[in-house]
Amino acid sequence: MLKSRATEDLKGTRLDLLIAFSASTMLLVFLLILVTKSPAQYYEVSIYDSLGGFLWLLAIMTSAAGLFIMIRNAFYYRGRRWLYGFSVILLIDMTLLLMPVIRGYAAYGGGDTLTHIGWIKDLVGSGSIGDLDIYPAEHILSAELVHTSNISVFSLSNIIPALFSLFFIISFFLLAKEILKERSAVMVSLIFASILLFENVHLGFSPHPQSFLLIPFVLFTYLRSRTSGLHIRYALIVLVMIILMVIFHPLTILILVMIFSVHHFSTRRYRLIPDTHNGFRVRGASAVTVISLVAFFVWHSYAYLLVGNLKKVYDSLMGESTASELQAYSNLVGIAGTTPLELIALILNVYGQWLILATIAFFCAMHIFRNRNRGISTLQPFLSASFMYFAALSLAVFILAYVVGFGRILIVAILFSILLIPSVLATNVTGSRNTVFSNPRKVIALSLVTISLLSFSTLNLYQSPAMKTGNPQVTDSEFAGMVFLFDTRNENVMILEMGVSQYRFYDAICGKEAVKTNIAYGESTRPPDHFGYEDFCCFGESIPDLRFLVVSDFGRHFYEYLYPEYEDMWRFTKNDFNRLENDISIGHFYSNGNIDIYLAYSV
């Protein structure tokens, strides 16, 4: 018996080493191919197309090999060989997250990212937080890194998100160990967490995604403050983290308040065993909730945000508002005439891994609910209730008036799903262990699910035309063009734009608190459809007075890139741009191959 077990372990070790060698070889080939690729000189609408399908397939295969090592060692062995696979996955994760650096992007994210860069530049220059800066935590952190590392804020904007994602994976592992206890369940949870499930959240240089990635650490310290002999020290860390989250982002602290509340009520509702079961005490959640709310309201900058958003919800419930994400998407689908198959393909491209996890987690939650009186773990009702609560809340936000993107709520449900699913798979309703993990067929099924999650998450990590969005890459040439415009323009002349945001670039170049004279944002900055050529002979006839017109490569090819199948509905065509070049009312003011600036004269 012992000899047979030793032989089996030896074979397992050899197989793990073979897989690790294969994964290392694929990783090396992946990196060698990547470094031979020239950095992006101009705008690339899809980083996937620019690097080629083989490279991305190699990334998925390398990660899959690492995951396979972790799965084998989670279920069949008790050693530390899973670290081979985990190391491979982390290396691939960090490489994928640092693609903007590798590809030579000036910045990744042309919207909020540029505005936050402006806030940081103000803080670095003045040494003080701006009066209107309601998200100072990220700006203070970044400004300190600028001072200590001597790295530009633009470069840091491409690096910091990867560091937050790495911290998320590590802190999630600690949280899983605290909640799940059972080794196989912890390993499965870590496997899920090491896959970049949260799409653009992993790449966002802005307060919300970064504060979301801190949630596992906050929950870990909170639970440790209830269970550890060092509970006072952990309680102090929780207090510090609550204050930090308040000045990071208002939505995240409100989400934490909801989590603490769900924990409090779920553990009391399903407390079928004493408070100290497994060393866990349910008291204290209400105090943390109150402290979080007090801290939220003390930070007075959030008051007007909360009041305004509550009014939107009230108006929607009373039938006085029609603006919702559901209605906006429905109108868009109706106008475009999208077929059901096209719609399904788009949903899978954007939300594939979330749909898989949400579906499995829903059945896991139902399993816990049906067996709530049969000795389930104290924390399983908390996990299932949290998942169901945030899934339902995201659906309500999607249907009702637009207050916040429903995806910002849904990712919290997904966060709990990757704790809930392993907790249910690890135990049956009577509490016995390894009921699923000891079944090879079910392990294979779990492996296939994991590979599906990996494939979807890798291919929608970066925005691309497959998701009907363009790559939010900011190029050096775009910066050069906008700097030239702001330095040489007549401030009395308004600016029209296509593919760039003058407001955001002005923030990043001049600072958020710089006076904006004729720097606009929104619908007023867009030129008329087809530059007015459907009604007039020249562009100048469609504008009231002198205008600058800024057109980036993405703006010029927007419809061609994203909606090639709907050419009859394009607001601007190739012919429109050809006419623009020969328009007698247009003068070419600046061009660098990636951005064109025109001066349009009213006729």
Task: Band the pLDDT of 286: cuts 50, 70, 90.
Answer: low
d(CA 460, CA 346): 11
Predicted confidence (pLDDT) per residue in 104-159, tens digit: 999 998 888 999 999 999 998 888 887 778 888 899 999 999 988 889 999 999 99
Contacts of 336 (CB under 8 A, 6+ apart): 563, 566, 569
For residue 314, name the pLDDT band (cuts at 50, 70, 90).
very low
User: Which of the two residues, 270 and 178, has the higher pLDDT score?
Assistant: 178
Q: Which of 434, 467, 500 is the last residue of a domain?
A: 467
Shared domain for 415 and 529, answered yes or no, is: no
CA 172: distance to chain centroid?
Answer: 16
Q: Write down the H helix ranges in 434-501.
A: 440-459, 476-488
pLDDT at 568: 87
Least confidently predicted of 190-199, 246-255, 271-280, 437-446: 271-280
For the beta carbon of residue 133, count every other beta carbon within 10 angstroms. 21
Last residue of a domain, one of 410, 443, 467: 467
Q: What is the pLDDT of residue 285?
A: 62
User: Which residues fall within 8 angstroms of residue 155, CB to CB, at 6 or more apart?
Assistant: 101
Tens digit of each residue's pLDDT (9 = 90 or more) over 373-414:
554 556 888 899 999 999 999 998 888 766 778 899 999 999
The whole-number pLDDT of residue 205 equals 93
pLDDT of residue 560 exceeding 80, the answer is yes
50/12 Cα distance (integer angstroms): 39
390 and 533 in a single domain? The answer is no
Rounded CA Rg of the chain: 26
Span 230-242, pLDDT tens digits: 677 888 888 888 8
Percent of the chain with pLDDT over 70: 84
Q: Is 437 in the same domain as 492? A: no
* pLDDT at position 447 over 60: yes
293 with 393, same domain? yes
Query: What are the residues facing 427 on neighbouring strands?
Result: 433
pLDDT score, position 30? 94
Query: Could you tell me if 334 and 371 lie in one domain?
Result: yes
Lowest mean pLDDT among 178-182, 360-364, 451-455, 538-542: 178-182
Alpha-carbon gap, residue 227 to 278, rounded angstroms: 9
Last residue of a domain, one of 467, 497, 524: 467
For the segment 574-587, the average pLDDT, to the nearest whole number, is 93
* Range of lowest pLDDT (176-180, 313-317, 322-326, 384-388): 313-317
pLDDT at 591 over 80: yes
Token output for 48: 């996937």
What is the identity of the amino acid at 103? R
What is the predicted pLDDT for the residue at 306? 56
Q: How confident is the model at residue 302 (pLDDT cuts 50, 70, 90)?
A: low
Indicate whether 473 pLDDT > 50: yes
Residue 193, pLDDT score? 96
Res 38 pLDDT > 60: yes
Burial 501-536 (b: 16+ CB within 10 A, else e): bbbbbbbbbbbbbeeeeebeeeeebebeebbbbeeb
The pLDDT tens digits for 240-251 are 888 888 888 888
pLDDT surpasses 50 at 468: yes
Q: Given a cut of 60, is residue 441 above it in pLDDT?
A: yes
Q: What percent of the chain has pLDDT over 90?
A: 52
Residue 464 scores a pLDDT above 70: yes
What was the pLDDT predicted at 336? 61
Tens digits of residue pLDDT in 201-213: 999 999 999 999 9
pLDDT tens digits for range 165-191: 999 999 999 999 999 888 888 999 999
Q: What is the mean pLDDT of residues 21-28?
A: 90
Most confident of 259-273, 325-339, 422-436, 521-535: 521-535
284 burial via Cβ count (<10 Å: 0-12, 13-18, 19+)? middle
Q: Give residue for tokens 């994602």.
A: 165
C-alpha 69/C-alpha 86 separation (Å) is: 8
**424, 560: one domain:** no
Is the pLDDT at 29 greater than 70, yes or no?
yes
The mean pLDDT value for 554-565 works out to 91
Residue of higher predicted confidence among 344 and 413: 413
Which residue bears the tokens 């900055």?
525
pLDDT top residue among 88 and 320: 88
What pTM did the predictor assign? 0.89
Mean pLDDT, residues 468-488: 94
Can you tell me the mean pLDDT for 356-383?
A: 81
Q: Is the pLDDT of residue 479 over 60?
A: yes
| pLDDT of 482 higher than 50 | yes
Contact 511/557 with Cβ under 8 angstroms?
no
CB 113 within 8 A of CB 157: yes
User: Per-residue pLDDT for 279 more than 50?
Assistant: no
Domain count, the chain: 2
Pair 434, 494 in one domain: no
318 and 342 both lie in a single domain: yes
531: phi then psi, degrees, rounded to nearest 5: 55, 25
Domain that includes residue 307, residue range: 2-467
Do 447 and 539 lie in a common domain? no
pLDDT at 224: 86
Question: Do 261 and 356 fall into the same domain?
Answer: yes
* Residue 542 pLDDT grade (very low, low, confident, very high; cuts 50, 70, 90): very high
Residue 272 has pLDDT above 50, yes or no: no
- pLDDT band at residue 43 using 50, 70 and 90 as cut-offs: very high
User: Would you state the pLDDT for residue 548?
Assistant: 95
Residues 145, 53 within the same domain: yes
Mean pLDDT of 545-566: 92
Say yes or no: 416 and 502 in one domain: no
> What pLDDT is recorded for position 488?
94
Cβ burial, residue 542 (10 Å; 0-12/13-18/19+): buried
Q: What are all long-range contacts of 277-281, with beta carbons under 8 Å and residues at least 24 apart? A: 277/378, 278/181, 278/377, 278/378, 279/227, 280/223, 280/226, 280/227, 280/378, 280/379, 281/226, 281/227
Q: What is the pLDDT of residue 229?
A: 62
Residue 430, pLDDT above cutoff 90: no
Nearest CA to 93 among 59, 48, 52? 59
